[in-house]
A = this chain, B = another copy of it.
Amino acid sequence: MGKVFADISMSLDGFVAGPKPSLKDPLGQGGEQLHEWVLKTAAWRKPHGKSGGETGPDGDIFEESFSRNGAVIMGRKMFSGGTGPWKDDPNADGWWGNNPPFHVPVFILTHNSRETLKKQGGTSFTFVTDGIESALSQGQAAAGDKDVSIAGGASAIQQFIKAGLLDELQIHIVPVLLGGGARLLENLGNPKLEKVRVIDSPLVTHLKFHLKY
What residues on B are CB-neighbors of A12 within 8 Å? 171, 185, 193, 207
Instruction: Find chain B residues with CB under 8 A from A171 CB.
Output: 12
A47 proximal to B (CB < 8 A): no
Instruction: Please state if B209 and A175 are interface contacts (CB–CB under 8 Å).
Output: yes
Collect the chain B residues with CB atoms within 8 Å of residue A175's CB: 193-195, 207, 209
Q: List the B residue with the shortest CB-CB distance to A191.
A: B177
Chain A's interface size range is: 20 to 34
The complex places the Cα of A184 from the Cα of B198 at a distance, in Å, of 22
Q: Give CA–CA (A194, B203) in the complex, Å.
A: 10
Interface membership of chain A positions 8-21, coded 1 if the CB is closer than 8 angstroms to chain B and 0 otherwise? 00001110000000
* Known contacts A193-B176, A193-B177, A195-B175; is-contact A205 B207 (Cβ 8 Å): yes
A198–B202 CA distance with the chains assembled, in angstroms:
10
Which one, B14, B198, B205, B207, contacts A185 given CB within 8 A?
B14
Taking CB as reference atom, which chain B residue is nearest A205?
A: B198
Looking at the assembled complex, report how far the CB atom of A15 sits from the nearest CB atom of chain B, in whole angstroms.
10
The residue that A177 contacts in the complex, of B176, B188, B194, B205, with Cβ under 8 A, is: B188
Q: How far is the CA of A194 from the CA of B177 in the complex (A)?
A: 12
8 closest cross-chain pairs (CB), A and B: A13-B185, A198-B200, A175-B195, A175-B193, A14-B14, A198-B205, A177-B188, A12-B185
